[in-house]
Chain A
Amino acid sequence: MIRINCPYCGEREHSEFTYGEDATRTTPDNDAPMEEWNKFVYERDNPAGEHIEYWHHAFGCRAWLKVQRNTITHDISWVGLPHENPEATS
């Protein structure tokens, strides 16, 4: 069972959260070429290993969180707020 340590609520189980998406993608500028928008909308790194992603504490405090999780082991190595990054706290 995945358990996420919410900065506001403490450690809660997976069923309180819904998964968002890859948190490393950045939105292109409005006037960026279509190729860049295509990459942003449709292409993913989809790594096997460490993955930084958004989760929504939908059945808790309703905060969006940023989580670093291993996609092979499901181990969570870092949880922060959406504007934070793992490097900043380590």
Chain B
Amino acid sequence: MGQYNALNIAWNALRGHKNWQRAWRDPEPKRNYDVIIIGGGGHGLATAYYLAKNHGITNVAILEKGWIGGGNVGRNTTIVRSNYLLDGNAPFYEHGMNLWRDMAQDLNYNVMFSPRGVMNIAHTKSQYDTFARRANTMRLNGIQAELLSRDEVLEREPIIDGSADTRFPVWGGILQPDAGNARHDAVAWGYARAADQLGVDIIQNCEVTDFIKQGERIIGVKTSRGDIHAEKVGMAVAGSSSRLAEKLDLRLPIESHVLQAFVTEPYKPLINGVVTFGAGHFYVSQSDKGGVVFGGDIDGYNTYAQRGNLPVFEDVIAGGLTMMPCLSRLKLLRNWGGVMDMSMDGSPIIDVGPIDGLYLNTGWCYGGFKATPASGYCFAHTIANDEAHELNKAYTLDRFAKGYTIDEKGMGPYPKAH
């Protein structure tokens, strides 16, 4: 398949681009693998890639019910950041930032990682104080953070309503300058291609319908394309985690909720970085193609439908228009939803078990995209070594029973509130 490089493009251009090969194979599933990863989303693909690259485990199958890039990895608002507060989270996400920076070179695939800065707006003095605390904590954890004055906020993003009589005047902001965006499709395709080149079988249109057990140990899965056996089975199925776990009589600390996202028609450059509104829930950035991409809260009720309802739609748009009134002139192109695996403390689970042969990766709430590389890196380590990496040792399933929840927002066991 070869490397993607300038010479290759030139060579193919001279031959009318007729010799490009598919980016990854379409193999028939074998009957046996060392490791099966259920779920060909960003996390599953990254896990398989790091299993092969870091741990030399290449006899791996990724089983994907639909197609690569069709789930949440292609449905998010592409934001990459690590502005976390708590010890269990901050080093994990910051390690992810390091992987993001090198990802395009590592995968030989342009994921268009663009560290254009993530800026959260404060609208009151007290909110600004909490941002100062967050910025100090981030710096102590080695994560870049800057406090911005009102003028600095408006200088970075001139289209923010800076008038004194707006409903929520700007007080200041916090900036993670090295955070930003990446092209989510390219992340999925890049990991898929790189994993495939290392020998991983990516099997699409292959739905896992049940598990195969021998005694108390999982030894494989039943799928729409036949039974497949493996020593280890990893689950990275996000919003479908409970549905799959139910087949093992396993109840998870997870509720599935829908999160909507929106994109406008392409426009000239309007928004420089990622901006979040501090008096409601609204986050926005502009894609390299020009589309203004934004989102807000989850709908707030259990659902497996990949579509949301209008009240949240209205709430998101209202927040956006309060902060950036000129958005009212833009034409919305598309709106969609993705099913989130909302956990009971707002933090994820990457763990061994709780059944022999099973490995869990779930509970990403609506922050899964930024975690893609770190999640794959740590999940691969957990599967290969049968124990957590230093970075995910807090993300256990039994932390709830033991009282070690990682509740970034301090909301308690209410998934809709995280």
**B400 A42 Cβ-Cβ under 8 A:** yes
Question: Can you list 6 A-B contacts with CB-CB less than 8 angstroms, sorted by A residue number?
Answer: A18-B300, A44-B251, A46-B252, A48-B256, A72-B303, A72-B305
Decide yes or no: A71 and B305 within 8 Å by CB, A45-B251, A48-B243 being known contacts: yes
A19 CB contacts on chain B under 8 angstroms: 300-301, 416
Any B CB within 8 A of the CB of A39: yes
Contacts of B309 in A (CB 8 A): 1-2, 14, 74
The verdict on A88 contacting chain B, using a C-beta distance below 8 Å, is no
The answer to whether A71 and B256 have CB atoms under 8 Å apart is yes
Number of A residues with CB within 8 Å of any CB on chain B: 28
Residues in A neighbouring B302, C-beta threshold 8 A: 22, 46, 51, 53, 71
Given A38-B401, A46-B255: A72 touches B413 (CB 8 Å cut-off): no
Nearest-neighbor residue (CB-CB) of A49 within chain B:
B304
A:1-44 near B, CB below 8 Å: 1-2, 13-15, 18-19, 21-22, 34-35, 38-39, 41-44
A-side interface mostly: mixed
Report the bound CA distance from A43 to B413 in whole Å.
10
The smallest C-beta distance from A22 to any residue of chain B, in angstroms, reads 7
Tell whether A42 pairs with B253 under 8 Å between CB atoms, given A2-B309, A35-B401.
yes
Known contacts A19-B300, A51-B302, A74-B305; is-contact A46 B254 (Cβ 8 Å): yes
Pick from A43, A48, A53: contact of B253, CB below 8 A: A43
Nearest opposing residue in chain A for B254, CB measure: A46
Q: State in angstroms the CA–CA spacing of A39 and B401 once bound together.
A: 8
What 4 A-B pairs are tightest by C-beta distance, nearest first? A46-B242, A15-B311, A19-B301, A42-B400
Given A14-B311, A19-B416, A71-B256: A39 and B304 within 8 A (CB)?
no
Q: Does B119 contact A (CB under 8 A)?
A: no
The reply to whether A1 and B310 contact each other, CB–CB distance below 8 Å, is yes
Q: Which residue of A lies closest to B310 (CB)?
A: A1
Interface size class of B (residues with CB under 8 A): 20 to 34
**Chain B contact residues, CB within 8 Å of chain A:** 242-243, 246, 251-256, 300-305, 309-311, 314, 344, 400-401, 413-416
Most chain A Cβ neighbours within 10 Å, of B254, B256, B300, B301 = B301
Tell me how far the C-beta of A26 lies from the nearest C-beta in chain B, rounded to whole angstroms.
14
A89 close to chain B: CB less than 8 A:
no
A residues engaging B (CB < 8 A)? 1-2, 13-15, 18-19, 21-22, 34-35, 38-39, 41-48, 51, 53, 69, 71-74
How many residue pairs, one in A and one in B, have C-beta atoms under 8 Å apart? 72
Give B405's nearest chain A residue, CB to CB: A42
Residues of A within 8 A of B311 (CB): 1, 13-15
Nearest-neighbour CB distance to chain A for B353, whole angstroms, equals 15
- Is there contact, CB below 8 Å, between B416 and A42? no
Taken together as a complex, chains A and B put the C-alpha atoms of A21 and B303 apart, in Å, by 12
Please indicate the chain B residues that have their CB under 8 angstroms from the CB of A45 in the complex: 242, 246, 251
Q: Which residue of B lies closest to A45 (CB)?
A: B251
CA gap between A28 and B252 in the complex, in Å: 18
B66 to chain A minimum Cβ distance, whole angstroms, is 16
Residue pair A43, B416 in contact (C-beta under 8 Å): no
Contact yes or no, A44 B254, CB < 8 A: yes
In the assembled complex, the Cα of A21 lies from the Cα of B314 at a distance in Å of: 23
A38 touches B255 (CB 8 A): no
Instruction: Decide: B251 and A71 in contact? CB cutoff 8 A.
Output: no
Within the complex, the shortest CB–CB distance from B119 to chain A, in Å, comes to 30
Whether A46 contacts B256 in the complex (CB less than 8 A), given A14-B311, A19-B416, A74-B303, comes out as: yes
Q: Which residues of B contact A53 (CB under 8 A)?
A: 301-302
Whether B304 and A48, one on each chain, are in contact in the complex, defined by CB atoms closer than 8 angstroms, is yes
Residue ID in chain B nearest A72 by CB atoms: B304
From A18, A34, A35, A73, contact of B305 by CB (8 A): A73
